[in-house]
């Protein structure tokens, strides 16, 4: 394993940075996107059943519902606030896209530079390399690409999973928000109708 890391040369530092960032982002987003923090069951049930909103006061859905209650006459502002909350959920995930695109390219750069060093050691008098040194040098040169791919593949899988999770949350929140806004609209209509009849 040490030989593989050594074979990457100086590019092991940017590859190591990519690895640390990918692990941090994936772990942090997995923790931040727990269902209890986004759409707690008790609060979802209250919205679906048309009851008073209780529970889950520090969740994303609770913040959206509080904003909807404060801006009852502005459904567009409520929808914009919900989109802002969804955008916050995606924090860090675009960096995973950069990592899984950049890590293999950094690894490929290490491989190319390593192969250049290997081929530069060919003896000028015979035109042939030392077979043992040549084989070992090529193996070490390819190690940078292996490390790059080992970073890129989990980053790609993690980004895809997290993005899909956020899309599912967005679809559910959209349905719940439409239900809340529809109920508020009916309440406003029922309040304004008796006043109109009195006039």
Cα 102 → chain centroid: 16
Tell me the average pLDDT across 73-81: 87
- pLDDT tens digit sequence for 22-35: 999 999 999 999 99
The predicted pLDDT at position 193 comes to 55
- Looking at the chain, the whole-number percentage of residues with pLDDT higher than 90 is 33
Say if residues 144 and 106 touch (Cβ distance below 8 Å).
yes
Best CA proximity match to 156, nearest among 103, 91, 194: 103
Higher pLDDT, 102 or 196: 102
Distance CA 92, CA 70 (A): 30
Name the burial class of residue 184, with classes exposed (0-12), middle (13-18) and buried (19+) by CB atoms within 10 angstroms of its CB. middle
Under 8 Å between Cβ of 107 and 148: yes
- C-alpha to C-alpha distance for 66 and 152, rounded to whole angstroms: 40
Radius of gyration of the chain (CA): 28
Q: Which pLDDT score is estimated for 26?
A: 94
Considering all CA atoms of the chain, what is the largest pairwise distance in Å, rounded to the nearest integer?
Answer: 108
**How confident is the model at residue 123, as a pLDDT?**
67
Least confident of 46-60, 94-108, 125-139: 125-139
Exposure string of 113-122, with b = 16+ CB inside 10 Å and e = fewer, is ebeeebeeee
Give the tokens for residue 75.
């459904």
Read off the pLDDT of residues 129-141 as tens digits, 9 standing for 90 and up: 667 767 777 777 7
Q: Residue 64, exposed/middle/buried by CB under 10 A (0-12, 13-18, 19+)?
A: buried
User: What does the domain layout of the chain look like in residue ranges?
Assistant: 2-189
């Amino acid at each position: 394993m040490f030989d593989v890391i050594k074979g990457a040369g100086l590019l092991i530092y940017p590859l190591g940075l990519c690895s640390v960032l990918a692990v941090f982002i994936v772990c942090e987003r997995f923790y931040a996107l727990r269902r209890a923090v986004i759409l707690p069951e008790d609060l979802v049930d209250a919205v679906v059943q048309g009851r008073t909103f209780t529970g889950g006061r520090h969740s994303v859905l609770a913040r959206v519902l509080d904003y909807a209650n404060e801006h009852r006459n502005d459904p567009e502002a409520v929808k914009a606030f919900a989109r802002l909350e969804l955008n916050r959920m995606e924090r860090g995930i675009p960096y995973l896209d950069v990592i899984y695109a950049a890590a293999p390219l950094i690894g490929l750069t290490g491989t190319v530079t390593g192969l250049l060093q290997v081929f530069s050691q060919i003896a000028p008098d015979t035109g042939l390399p030392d077979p043992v040194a040549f084989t070992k040098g090529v193996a070490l040169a390819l190690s940078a690409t292996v490390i790059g791919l080992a970073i890129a593949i989990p980053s790609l899988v993690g980004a895809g999973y997290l993005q899909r999770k956020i899309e599912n949350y967005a679809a559910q929140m959209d349905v719940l928000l439409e239900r809340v806004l529809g109920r508020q609209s009916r309440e406003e209509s029922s309040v304004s109708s008796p006043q109109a009849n009195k006039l």
